[in-house]
Amino acid sequence: MNDDTKTQQQLIKELAEMRERVTQLEKTEASLKQSNATHRESEEIFHLLVDQMTDSMIIIDWDGTIRFANETALRLVEVDSHTEVLGRNITEYIGPNALPVATEDLAMIQAGQKGVTETYKIITASGQEKWVEAKGIKVHFQGSDCDMVNIRDITDRKQMEQDFGRTLESLRKAVGTTIQVMVSAVEARDPYTAGHQLRSADLCRSIATEMGLSREQIDGIRIAASIHDIGKLSIPADILGKPIKLNTLELSLVKDHARKGYEMLKDVESPWPLAQIIYQHHERMDGSGYPRNLKGEAILIESRILAVADVVEAMSSHRPYRPSLGIEEALKEIASHKGVLYDNDVVNACLRLFREKSYHLPEI
C-alpha cells in the first residue's frame, strides 16, 4: 500500500470520527434543549401550584429581604405586583410589637430548627392590621440558604375568638349576678350558712390555686362553693337554726340539700359544671358519702376540693348547736382520713396552705 492510499484511509477515518463527534454534540444539544424545556415547564408548574395555594408563601434572606412571594401573599398585603414586595424587608409588614419575636424566630430557623410556628399581627399596604400564623423552614433557594415561610390569614379566627371571649365574659357577669342573688337569699334565711359558703369558697380557691388547676376550674369552683348550700333554702329555718341534735327525719331533710341544690341549678346556663359540683360535694373517696355513694375519680376534682374546704370551715366555725372546734381539729380530721374520705392531693394542698403558707380563713 502506497503513501497516498494510507493518507486517504486516514482522512476517511478522521472524517468518520468527526461525524461521530458532531452527532454526539447534536444529541447533547438536543438533550439540553429538552432538559431546559422540561425545567422551564417544571418551573411554570411550580409557580402555578404555588400561586394557587390558599396560604401565602414567601422566601426571605436572613436579613429579612423578600426574594419570592406567591400571588396569595400579594393579596394578603394588598399589593398588585411582585415588584412592590420583592427586595423589600419583611419588617415593613410586621407590627412593631411582633418584631422581637419575628427576629428570634428567624434566628432559630437559620440555626436549623424545623417547623418554627408563630402568630403575628401584620400591617398591609393600606395600613390595615391582620393576624397571621406563620411557619418557617430553612431552604436552599437560588444559590443560598433562606427562610421559606408559609403564612395563613387567621384574622377571622381571631375575631371569632374575641367575640367568643366577649360573649363568655357577658355570661360570666350574668352568672355572677345570679350567684350573688342566691347568696343574698341564703344569707337572709341563714346567716351561718351564708358566711360558711363564702369562707369555704375562699379556701376552695386557694386550694385549687395551690394544686395548679386552670383559671377556668378555679373560677368555677369558687362560684360553686359560694352557693354550695343553696339547697338548704328548701329546709325549714327552725331546723337550720336548731341548737340541739337533729332527729333522723330532720337529718334526712338536711342531707337532701345537695340534691335540692342540683335541682335548682341543673338548667342554669354556665361555663362550669356548677350543679354537678354542688351535687357531689358530700361524696367521699371510699363511697361512704351521699347522695349517690360515688367513689374516687367518679367525683369531680372540684367537688373533692369543696368537700375538704367544707369540712375545715364547718369544724373551725361556731354553729348554733356547738362552739367552734378550732382549725387544728379540722386539719387533724382531714389529715387522719386522707385517702379514705378525702382526696390525697387536696388534703396535702390544704395542709400546706395552713401550716406552711400562713393561710387563714377570711372574716365574713
Same domain, yes or no: 144 and 177: no
Q: Is the pLDDT of residue 32 over 90?
A: no
Structure confidence at residue 296 (pLDDT) = 94
Task: Tell me how far CA of residue 45 lies from CA of 40, 42, 50, 107, 141, in angstroms.
Answer: 9, 5, 8, 32, 17
Structure confidence at residue 28 (pLDDT) = 59
Same domain, yes or no: 109 and 149: yes
Report pLDDT digits (tens) over 81-94: 888 989 999 888 88
Structure confidence at residue 196 (pLDDT) = 85
Residue 360 lies in a domain: no
CATH of the domain at 290: 1.10.3210.10
Choice between 302 and 237, residue whose per-residue pLDDT is larger? 302
Report pLDDT digits (tens) over 319-348: 766 777 889 999 999 999 999 999 999 999
- The grid coordinates listed for 221 are 369552683
Residue 342: φ, ψ to 5°: -120, 150
| DSSP-based three-state secondary structure for 337 | coil
Structure confidence at residue 279 (pLDDT) = 96
Residue 24 lies in a domain: no
Same domain, yes or no: 190 and 251: yes
Structure confidence at residue 7 (pLDDT) = 63
**Residue 14 — very low, low, confident or very high, per pLDDT cuts 50/70/90?**
low
Report pLDDT digits (tens) over 179-220: 777 777 776 666 666 688 889 999 999 999 999 999 989 999
Query: Domain boundary at 129, 153, 177, which?
Result: 153
223-236 average pLDDT score: 86
Q: What is the DSSP string of 6-61?
A: HHHHHHHHHHHHHHHHHHHHHHHHHHHHHHHHHHHHHHHHHHHHHHT-SSEEEEE-
Choice between 304 and 247, residue whose per-residue pLDDT is larger? 304
**Residue 23 — very low, low, confident or very high, per pLDDT cuts 50/70/90?**
low
Residue 6 lies in a domain: no
User: pLDDT above 90 covers what percent of the chain?
Assistant: 32
The type of residue at 195 is: G
Residue 222: is it exposed, middle or buried by C-beta count within 10 angstroms (0-12/13-18/19+)? buried
The type of residue at 352 is: R
Residue 322 lies in a domain: yes
Q: Which domain holds residue 200?
A: 165-355
| Number of independent structural domains in the chain | 2
Same domain, yes or no: 174 and 214: yes
Same domain, yes or no: 291 and 249: yes
Residue 205 lies in a domain: yes
Choice between 2 and 105, residue whose per-residue pLDDT is larger? 105
Q: Is the pLDDT of residue 48 over 90?
A: no
Query: Domain boundary at 118, 153, 188, which?
Result: 153
Q: Is the pLDDT of residue 255 over 50?
A: yes
Same domain, yes or no: 112 and 223: no
Q: What gap in Å lies between CA 120 and CA 76, rounded to an integer?
A: 13
Of the candidate ranges 97-106, 127-136, 277-286, the one whose mean pLDDT is the lowest = 97-106
Q: Is the pLDDT of residue 39 over 50?
A: no
Structure confidence at residue 36 (pLDDT) = 52
Report pLDDT digits (tens) over 264-323: 888 877 788 999 999 999 999 999 999 999 999 999 999 999 999 999 998 988 776 677
Same domain, yes or no: 171 and 293: yes
Same domain, yes or no: 92 and 135: yes
Same domain, yes or no: 217 and 318: yes
CATH of the domain at 111: 3.30.450.20
Structure confidence at residue 218 (pLDDT) = 94
Instruction: Quote the pTM value.
Output: 0.57
Residue 67 lies in a domain: yes
Of the candidate ranges 26-35, 171-180, 228-237, the one whose mean pLDDT is the lowest = 26-35
Structure confidence at residue 298 (pLDDT) = 96
Residue 217 lies in a domain: yes
Same domain, yes or no: 146 and 196: no
Q: Is the pLDDT of residue 52 over 90?
A: no
Same domain, yes or no: 178 and 147: no
Query: Domain boundary at 121, 153, 185, which?
Result: 153
Same domain, yes or no: 143 and 171: no
